[in-house]
Structure 1
Amino acid sequence: MYYNYYPHRVDQVFAEINGGPLAPEINGFVTFQQVYNGTMVCAQIEGLPPYQAGQGDGRPIGPHGFHLHENGSCQIGDQQNPFQEAGEHWNPTDQPHGNHAGDFPVLFSNNGFAYICFFTNKFLPTDVIGKAIIIHQSPDDYRTQPAGDAGKRLACGVIQGR
């Protein structure tokens, strides 16, 4: 089956991703397509920082945490800690971290580029309109509560429908 994951279709739900002050070169799209028993999520992102190993007790840069957040706001706010108005991970069924509907796989930077598609049965595309997608500086550990210790928020996009 062919999945059209570009936001040009009338029935698409998508977010345009833009980098904030910590990584202004990030841009791309995330699309949500209803499929049998759930949703196919596809992302095409450019301008990601390359992987850098953590120094001492510091977190690495990349692979990049990739999450669905509860509020549809990409207001920058604090330049050093942007996109806080997006709130926490979207978690409509009150699950522990690692099993939130908003917990997505990490993005691996390949010379700044990442492309990923995955299936989820935790929501339908219409359920996420008005939420935000956030790309983080560090990987999600999928266990630290409540949000996985993924570090600073580098890029954001508000999900909309057409």
Structure 2
Amino acid sequence: MTIRALPLALAAALASSAALAQPATVKVELKNAAGASAGSATLTDAPKGVLIRVEARGLTPGWHGLHFHETGDCSKSDFTSAGGHTHGGGDRKHGLLNPDANETGDLPNLFAAADGSATGEFYSTLVSLKGAGGRQGLQDANGSALLIHASADDQTTQPIGGAGARVACGVIK
């Protein structure tokens, strides 16, 4: 290698390592019961959890429960094909306000404005995309789903905090 080529090789190596340092990100398309687009979510792996950015539309104004569900399947119009909340094993109970440990599917509520649009950014230390740090992986063999419910989650009542029907679903694969 010549002296002139050394800076180019160094720049290429730095660019390559910078690309490797980018966190894993998954884009999730949210669908409503009719199969139409209801927005999207971007999940980004972080060193100790997952950052979730949700942009939804077509919701009723007010608060909506938001959860990770155990199966990456939104094929049924009521989204029951996504199964229950991701759980994480052990004797966990539903609800971020429950002192008996949280399910890995527990997330804060999402607020929809008067026009039905909702934007929120959340962070969960209970999951990872691929199972890093011993946390439940959202991209396991059967995937998982991000669901928006019709009503707010009270963060304590079992099994889903009174969040009601499932109104939007996105597959995490």
TM-score (norm 1): 0.75
TM-superposed deviation, 1:11: 3.5
The runs of 5 or more residues in structure 1 that have no matched partner are 1-8, 52-62
Cα offsets for 1:105-149 (capped at 9, x unmatched): 111111211111122211112211210111110111111112212
Alignment correspondent of 1:64: 64
Cα offsets for 1:68-124 (capped at 9, x unmatched): 0011111225xxxx1111111111134111121111111111121111112221111
Given that 1:26 and 1:48 are in contact with CA atoms closer than 8 Å, whether structure 2 keeps it comes out as no
Alignment of 1:16 with 2:20, yes or no, is: no
Aligned residues: 135
- Give the whole-Å Cα distance in 2 for the aligned partners of 1:39 and 1:91: 16
Alignment of 1:48 with 2:44, yes or no, is: no
Q: Where do 1:1-162 residues align within 5 Å? A: 11-21=24-34, 27-51=38-62, 63-76=63-76, 82-94=78-90, 95-98=92-95, 99-110=102-113, 111-126=115-130, 127-129=137-139, 130-160=143-173
TM-superposed deviation, 1:10: 9.3
Does the residue aligned with 2:60 lie in a helix, a strand or coil? Answer: coil
With a CA cutoff of 8 Å and minimum separation of 6, indicate the structure with the bigger relative contact order.
Answer: 1
The structure having more radius of gyration, on CA atoms, is 2
Alignment correspondent of 2:14: none
Given that 1:26 and 1:47 are in contact with CA atoms closer than 8 Å, whether structure 2 keeps it comes out as no
Moved beyond 4 Å, runs of 4+? none
Question: Larger helix proportion, structure 1 or 2?
Answer: 2
Identical residues among aligned pairs (%): 36
What's the RMSD between the two structures over aligned residues?
2.0
The runs of 5 or more residues in structure 2 that have no matched partner are 1-21, 96-101, 131-136
